[in-house]
Structure 1
Amino acid sequence: MQNVIIFGASGHGSVVLDCLEKEGRYNVIGFVDSFKEKGTRINGYQVLGTEIDLPYLINRFNIKGGIVAIGDNWTRKLIVDKISKIVPDFNFINTIHPKAILGKDVLLGCGNVFMPGAIVNANSIVHDFCILNSNSILEHDCVMSSYSSLAPSSCCGGNVILGSFTSICIGTSIVNGIEIGEHSVIGAGSLVVDHFGDNIVAYGSPARIVRKRSAGEPYLSTPKKQQFYKLGSFDDVQSNLSI
């Protein structure tokens, strides 16, 4: 098995670790995290260093690839960009939990996470660095653009298109044929029956736009944790949308 590392050692990183272990295709060496002390143990694995240490870690542990385990879509991009500058040809892998289901002729990019119970049905496309959380559903002929995410128990009907960096939050349902633009967030428990454009926050049943948002604005955190993001931490939080 190829040796791999996980970037991000918080709660989401533990779930990604579980996916990799149960998938059984890779040998996880440890975590890389800029905000946890080197040597800290997470679920039995050590924090090996930061992204800056990556060339050394690749040589020492014969690393063949890795995955970015950061729940926030925009922050995940920042980490991917940082890694790509340090190691331009770094191999970003997918992880597919054995209880996830991928249908016929599904196309996958790189760096994606498919958690337990996630379903991607026939002819759908999942581009790069997407997250399909536990029990999320992407029905037939859907498209998830890069850095988009489905929270636990969210459901997209057939022929849905999600723009880059868009997040569908916990328990949201999207009816067939809907298109949602880039950098948009659909709040928890919503029912989406209309198209939405870029850079919006919408929620409700039926979902309605409540405000505009900017690219990179946190959406997974409490107000206190949002301030923590503003101070520069890439630590992610697995929680509901706070608006």
Structure 2
Amino acid sequence: MPGQQVIATPIVVVAASGLAREAAVAAVASGQRVRGVLDDRKDLQGKDIAEGLPVLGTIDEAIDHLDAQFVVCTGKGRVRRTIVERLSGQGVDGDHYVTITHPSVHVPPGCHVGPGAVLLAGVVLTADVSVGAHVVCMPHVVLTHDCVLAEYSTLCAGVVLGGGVRVERDAYVGMAASVRENSRIGEGSVVGMGSVVLQHVPAFQTWAGVPATPLRG
């Protein structure tokens, strides 16, 4: 009806983390409505993790909030993946996940951002960038042409990817790291903060330095 106010579907944030508070701020800035947080920590039950952000219960109580949309806010992709799998048992399917994009972020035509992804302030997508489901991009990440971020990957603040970089599932790229064009960051791998990656990083390895090389355990 003309003049009728549209009420946004509320968002429930899963995991009471610093990222949860950041995502909530970005959501509110975008005009979204955050109901609260689900977390398993007993000491948080019934409390607020920030002003206006109450802990609503444990993750197993997601079933009581199926009228809402969800975003999982843990810093490590494999942990996000485990929580998403757990939530599926509570009836939270793919259609329940919301993308949070800070209003400073422009997603150009030809770019794609998947459900459950979080793009914080100042993230840049240039052309034909694909951001998978449940990806987290911290502030001021730069994704240049043809970059692909597979599901559950994490890019920390100030990461810069050259054109055609692919970051595989569960990979973690540390703060202010730079990755040369057409490189691949393998599944489950870690790139240390401030690193300069000039070649492919194999799966499940940790690389760091300038230029980045593998760290030996």
Structure 1 residue 103: deviation in Å? 2.6
CA distance in 2 between counterparts of 1:55 and 1:180 reads 36
Offset of residue 196 of structure 1: 1.6
What is aligned with 1:11?
A: 18
Q: For 1:173-188, list aligned pairs within 5 A.
A: 173-188=178-193
C-alpha deviation, 1:88, in angstroms: 4.5
Superposed, 1:187-202 pairs within 5 Å as 187-202=192-207
Alpha-carbon shift at residue 39 of structure 1 (Å): 1.1
Counterpart of 1:15 in 2: which secondary structure? helix
Q: TM-score, normalised by structure 1?
A: 0.82
Counterpart for residue 81 of structure 2:
77
The answer to which of 108-117 and 88-97 deviates more is 88-97
Shift of 1:12: 1.1
> What is the identity percentage for the equivalent residue pairs of Structure 1 and Structure 2?
27
Could you list the per-position Cα deviations for residues 161-194 of structure 1 after superposition, in whole angstroms to 9, with x for gaps in the alignment?
1111111100101111111210000101011111
CA distance in 1 between counterparts of 2:201 and 2:22 reads: 30
AA matched with 1:137:
V
For 1:37-56, list aligned pairs within 5 A: 37-43=44-50, 44-56=52-64
* Partners of 1:172 and 1:188 within 8 A in 2: yes
Who is 1:107 aligned against? Answer: 112
Mapping of 1:163-178 within 5 angstroms? 163-178=168-183
Question: SS state of the match for residue 157, structure 2?
Answer: coil
Task: Count how many residue pairs are aligned between Structure 1 and Structure 2.
Answer: 207
TM-score, normalised by the number of residues in structure 2: 0.91
Q: Which residue of 2 aligns with 1:30?
A: 36
SS of equivalent to 1:17: helix
CA RMSD for the aligned pairs? 1.3
Letter in 1 for 2:45: K
Moved over 6 A (4+): none
Q: 8 Å contact 1:200–1:211 — kept in the other structure?
A: no
**Can you give the 5+ residue segments of structure 1 that lack an aligned partner in the other structure?**
213-243
Cross-structure match for 1:210: 215
